[in-house]
Amino acid sequence: MTELQIGLIGLGAAAVAGVVVYNKWQERAHRKVAEGMLKTEHNDVLLGERDGSSQPARRVEPTIEAAVGEERLEPVLTAAFEPGSEESVPPRLEAEEAAAPMGDVSVDESPAPDVPTRLLDPRLDFIVVMELVDAVPAAEILHSQRDALQRLSKPVVWVGFNERTRNWEIFSPDAAYRRLRIGLQLADRRGPLSDADLNVFVAAMQDLADELLAVADMPPPQPVLDQALDLDRFCAEVDLEIGVNLVSRGTPFSGTKLRALAEAAGMVLGADGLFTRYDDEGRALFRLQNQESPPFSAESIKNLSTHGLTFLLDVPRVDHAERVFAQMTELAKRFGDALQGTLVDDNRQPLSDAQLDHIKREFIIKPQAAMASFGLAAGSSQALRLFS
């Protein structure tokens, strides 16, 4: 090792030693300053003054006090949103409220679910779809084409989408709708939809769409007319009304006694001149009519006498009609015992239990099974519309 190298090593060691000594001096100086600061006595703002006693200082809760004479200032929002002024409503909220149906706050732009078939059924109805920019009161929509639609021989069903509940519903007069579905029924007990009725309806829907600034989306007319004919043929096959007759054996039936028996059985006399038995939901099960004139009424029945009654069951309009038929025939037998009458068929031949069982199998169970296979339950809302 040369003398130069030895000298350089010595200088480096001296420099390192100098740095270490300097750091130690600085550390000592800072420590003295810190100790001097910590030895100074200060009052604790939370625990009170230190008085040297062994008792803990009284705790002082922090408070916020306004300076005497100063006016208290409430926090405010600097955005231009003052209640009561026209400028207070944000533009977006104004647009939402304008487009919402009556009573709604905002409009959900997501796609609406399908219309339930209990309201409108593509197999039974010619359905027009309309989507509006803004909600329009139902009363205004219904009034628009009222004169034209009154000429139709088939019912029109108006369905709107409730933006609040997100459910389709039959038009409510005090509501407003943006999404519409209008259905023209294809058949009823008067027959199938006619070409003339369809043309009137299509023209009315186009005029309505023009008035509402909407586009009417509707199926092509000709296939719908063929569908109406097929539907009418099916309905004719299952549209049956079963009657069980009760005739006197000589002495006519007294109106007052007849009314007492009917009311005891839960039957109600209606404006149509028939006694009707309803279920718990208010749906008609079967009826009782006078074979002779006049029909029953609250005024005439007091002095009425008749030689014949008919119990009626409307097969496609009654759910589980085989059970209802059993109830009806049992009641007819009780009436026969009380009034001294006999159960007969339309040819006035006595009805045996075997014949009643045959009627139930062939004219009730089979037609209702055919309706079920078609996807149309007897007594359903669709059936009640179709067989009306």
Q: Tell me the per-residue pLDDT of 135-190, one tens digit each, with 9 for 90 and over.
A: 999 999 999 999 999 999 999 999 999 999 999 999 998 999 999 999 999 999 99
pLDDT averaged over consecutive 10-residue blocks of the chain (388 residues)?
Answer: 59 56 53 46 41 40 38 37 37 38 56 94 97 96 95 97 96 95 98 97 97 93 94 97 96 96 97 96 96 93 95 98 97 97 94 96 97 96 96
Q: What pLDDT, on the 0 to 100 scale, is given for residue 288?
A: 98
Q: What pLDDT, on the 0 to 100 scale, is given for residue 83?
A: 37
Q: What pLDDT, on the 0 to 100 scale, is given for residue 129?
A: 97
Tokens linked to 214: 């909407």
Tokens linked to 171: 């038009």
Q: What pLDDT, on the 0 to 100 scale, is given for residue 103?
A: 44
Q: What pLDDT, on the 0 to 100 scale, is given for residue 2?
A: 63
Q: What pLDDT, on the 0 to 100 scale, is given for residue 110?
A: 83
Domains in the chain, please, with CATH? 125-235 (3.30.70), 239-386 (3.30.1400.10)
Tokens linked to 349: 């031949």
Tokens linked to 272: 């149509």
Distances (CA, A) of 104 to 75, 107, 263, 349: 32, 8, 47, 64
